[in-house]
Amino acid sequence: MQGLMKSTIGFVGTGRMGANMARRLKERGFPVVALYDARQDSAQSLAEELGATACNTLADITAAAEVVITVVSNDAAQRELFCREGDSLLHGAEGRLFINCATVTPSLHGEIESLSEAAGASSLEACMASSITQAREGTLYLMCGGRQEVYERALPLLRELGTAPRYIGAAGSAAQVKALVNMVMNINTAGLAEGLGLGAALGLDLTMLLEVFSQTGANSRVLQTDGEDMLHRDHACFFSAAHAAKDSGIALGLAVEKGIKVPLALATKFQYDRLVALGLGELDKSAVAELTFPGRQG
Amino acid sequence: MQGLMKSTIGFVGTGRMGANMARRLKERGFPVVALYDARQDSAQSLAEELGATACNTLADITAAAEVVITVVSNDAAQRELFCREGDSLLHGAEGRLFINCATVTPSLHGEIESLSEAAGASSLEACMASSITQAREGTLYLMCGGRQEVYERALPLLRELGTAPRYIGAAGSAAQVKALVNMVMNINTAGLAEGLGLGAALGLDLTMLLEVFSQTGANSRVLQTDGEDMLHRDHACFFSAAHAAKDSGIALGLAVEKGIKVPLALATKFQYDRLVALGLGELDKSAVAELTFPGRQG
């Protein structure tokens, strides 16, 4: 177990989340040695900051690091890492541990586990239900799926990234839970935007309205995190509208597969798809209020 | 002001909410003297309990009580009290104070204020964003609309019914806020039901799922109040599905009037309408989970 504390670490995906997780581990004394990103300048600049190597190929990451943490943005990107012809993380991967933090379709985690094991490596899904600040501070909410012994091996490292990592079950189960968390969060966000937008249209004092919401059955976590931002159109990105659309889409896929009707999740997906279509997908999820306030978009 | 503490009080509507408010005021030393309900046996049984008189006509209430608190269930019932041919609360109403607690269409409060003033009486809307327990304990969340001087006159009494009564603005504005509170609350409730129902369909541990929701962006007041009930199908009524349908309908009416698109509020209204159509309207709003869990209704 303790051995992992000295394992060399590589990161694939050095965007906002991945970069801050790498900074956190470096700061906590882990040897972060190798970085890769499809945008080479992103990996390069972080490599300079952390004294690591920016690799040109995925196989170079696997060669350099015993533990590889992948933080990419969607199914296609995640799949590429393990299945790309000619260059993949699985090249020379014997004994490696892959920790996959992207929010992807749950079944993909099982596929990656199988492929990893066939290559003599291990894999763990570690879904994150928090954002950039938490990544930097090592207080991510981490939900893990995969083999329990792999989870336990990874725990010393997971504990540096998150406050209280949680083992959910087999590979894919954490992604299912994550999809449900984000589905409900997105519904609450889109619903709040409707309440505030309609309040604005009625000419109500919106600060009063937020306060009343917070003291009644309308209260929610997103009211606390996104309410003010909706009023002030402050949509600096913590969790993008495009990611919200993607995650609601994953949940819808599960609902279709299981024959469960989720009309609110569907309406929410449409709202986030509309935002993306309007070119606003890179704004924070709070930007859904742009669709519901009088005189804004839509 | 203090004079109100000795005013005789009448209640119109002795259902779950009205009866508990009457009990509370009686207990706090107010002379609750006259009761009326469309269901005479309801008024009669409460009258025996409280040592009050069950009246046969609305005019008898106005004759007996200086302050009349109305707690009825919808627009039609509320309008009847003030506009019924032959018998109305406005008969001999000079100097009376009407406090109207029903959740009704906002514009109705303005109509009632005008009618009351024409009869030499005053009226105040006092919207309640809480439930039966709070009514009994005098801890209702009260949002008031009407003339500020009427609000201030009513305050000593309002403070016995609610923890911190709040003046919102002109007649109807409190009902607007209440409609928005319930619209957002109903959206969050219907969304939670989708998340838990889909979690059940996926075979996830639902107690774990509730806990994860509570620690993440999926958290909400309704998660705390309704989450367990959705799992255990415990839909004893605090706030009925039929009321949820009605309140979401009021908010939709405002949205249509203002030209604001509220797709989630609409989807939520459909869900609660479906519950009512299935004959489940008298269950608690948590019963929306009956539509989203595998193997239940729908």
The pLDDT tens digits of the residues spanning A96-125 come to 999 999 888 999 999 999 999 999 999 999
Q: CB contact, 8 Å: B294 with chain A?
A: yes
pLDDT in tens, A256-292: 999 999 999 999 999 999 999 999 999 999 999 999 9
Give the B window 114-143 contacts with A, CB below 8 Å.
Answer: 129-130, 141, 143
Mean pLDDT of B26-48: 96
Please state, rounded to an integer, the average pLDDT across all residues of chain A: 94
More reliable by pLDDT, A18 or A103: A18
Q: CB contact, 8 Å: B183 with chain A?
A: yes
Instruction: Tell whether domain A176-291 is in CATH 3.50.50.60.
Output: no
Strands A97-100 and B122-128: unpaired
- What is residue A202's predicted lDDT score, i.e. its pLDDT? 96
Confidence of residue A20 (pLDDT cuts 50, 70, 90): very high
- What is residue A104's predicted lDDT score, i.e. its pLDDT? 87
From the CA of A58, how many Å to the nearest CA of chain B?
33
- Nearest by CB to residue A202, choosing from B198, B217, B254, is B254
- Over B149-160, what HEC string results? HHHHHHHHHHHH
Q: Considering chain B, what percentage of its residues have pLDDT values greater than 90? A: 90
- Cβ atoms of A195 and B268 within 8 Å: the answer is no
Residue B292 to residue A262, Cβ atoms within 8 A: yes
Confidence of residue B237 (pLDDT cuts 50, 70, 90): confident
- What is residue B5's predicted lDDT score, i.e. its pLDDT? 66
- What is residue B298's predicted lDDT score, i.e. its pLDDT? 56
- What is residue B73's predicted lDDT score, i.e. its pLDDT? 85
Confidence of residue A1 (pLDDT cuts 50, 70, 90): very low
Residue B100: phi and psi, rounded to 5, are -105, 115
- What is residue B1's predicted lDDT score, i.e. its pLDDT? 40
Q: CB contact, 8 Å: B50 with chain A?
A: no
From the CA of B115, how many Å to the nearest CA of chain A?
24
Cβ atoms within 10 Å of A126's Cβ, excluding its own? 25
- Nearest by CB to residue B192, choosing from A184, A215, A291, is A184
Mean pLDDT of A227-234: 96
Cβ atoms within 10 Å of B238's Cβ, excluding its own? 18
Residue A81 identity: L
Residue B270 identity: F
Please state, rounded to an integer, the average pLDDT across all residues of chain B: 94
Domain ranges of chain A: 2-170, 176-291
Task: List the beta bridge partners of residue B220.
Answer: A220
Reported ipTM: the value is: 0.88
Set of chain A residues whose Cβ sits within 8 Å of the Cβ of B192: 184
Residue A261 to residue B192, Cβ atoms within 8 A: no
pLDDT in tens, B142-200: 999 999 999 999 999 999 999 889 999 999 999 999 999 999 999 999 999 999 999 99
Instruction: Tell whether domain A2-170 is in CATH 3.40.50.720.
Output: yes
- Residue A118 CA to residue A89 CA, distance in Å, equals 13
Set of chain A residues whose Cβ sits within 8 Å of the Cβ of B209: 177, 180
- What is residue B6's predicted lDDT score, i.e. its pLDDT? 80
CB pairs under 8 A between A and B: 217
Task: List the beta bridge partners of residue B10.
Answer: B34, B68
Q: CB contact, 8 Å: A170 with chain B?
A: no
Residue A184 to residue B259, Cβ atoms within 8 A: no
Mean pLDDT of B228-250: 93
Residue B220 to residue A220, Cβ atoms within 8 A: yes
Whether pLDDT at B29 is above 70 = yes
- Residue B283 CA to residue B241 CA, distance in Å, equals 6
pLDDT in tens, A38-52: 999 999 999 999 999
Contacts of A120 (CB under 8 A, 6+ apart): A93, A94, A95
Burial class (CB within 10 angstroms; exposed 0-12, middle 13-18, buried 19+) of B159 = middle
- Residue B81 CA to residue A148 CA, distance in Å, equals 66
Residue B180 to residue A218, Cβ atoms within 8 A: yes
Confidence of residue A162 (pLDDT cuts 50, 70, 90): very high
- What is residue B216's predicted lDDT score, i.e. its pLDDT? 92
**Domain B2-171 superfamily per CATH:** NAD(P)-binding Rossmann-like Domain (3.40.50.720)
pLDDT in tens, B54-105: 999 999 999 999 999 999 988 999 999 999 889 999 999 999 999 999 888 9
Whether pLDDT at B129 is above 90 = no
- What is residue B3's predicted lDDT score, i.e. its pLDDT? 56
- What is residue A5's predicted lDDT score, i.e. its pLDDT? 66
Q: CB contact, 8 Å: B56 with chain A?
A: no
- Nearest by CB to residue B191, choosing from A184, A221, A259, is A184
Query: How would you label A198-223 residue by residue, b for 16+ Cβ within 10 Å and e otherwise?
Result: bbbbbebebebbbebbebbbbbbbbb
Cα dihedral A10, A13, A16, A22, rounded to 10, equals: 0
Give the B window 260-289 contacts with A, CB below 8 Å.
Answer: 260-268, 270-271
Whether pLDDT at B140 is above 70 = yes
Residue B208 identity: M
